Homo-oligomer: A and B are copies of this chain.
Amino acid sequence: MDLGDWRIKIDALNEQLLALLNERANCALAIGKLKKELALPVIDSTREHQIFQKIKELNHGPLSSEAIERIFRGIIEETRRIQESPTSV
C-alpha cells in the first residue's frame, strides 16, 4: 500500500469514528435528560472511573492505556459540554 492508499483508509476510519462519536453523544444526551427527570447529578465519578477501567482492560494497543484515557476524557468533556448547553435538554 502506498501513502495514498493508507490515507484513504484513514479517511474511512475518521468517518466511522465521527459517526460513533455522534451516536455516543446522542446516548449521553438521552442519559442527561433521564438524569434530569430523576433529579440525579450529571457527573458520576464512579461511573466515569468504571468507563476508564473497562476501556483500559480491553485495550491491546498500539495506543497506550494512558493515551486512550486522554482521548476518552476529551470525548466525555465534549459530550458534557452539549449536555449542559440549554438547547440540548
- Chain A residues within 8 Å of B, Cβ to Cβ: 1-3, 6-7, 9-11, 13-18, 20-31, 34-35, 38, 47, 51, 54-55, 58-64, 67-68, 70-72, 74-75, 78-79, 81-82, 88
Contact = CB atoms under 8 A, between A and B. Distances in A.
A17 B14 contact: no
Given A7-B47, A23-B13, A54-B11, A68 B31 contact: no
Stoichiometry, as copies per complex, reads 2
The 6 closest A-B pairs by CB, nearest first: A67-B78, A74-B74, A13-B24, A6-B31, A25-B63, A25-B62
A34 B11 CA distance: 17
Nearest to A26: B62
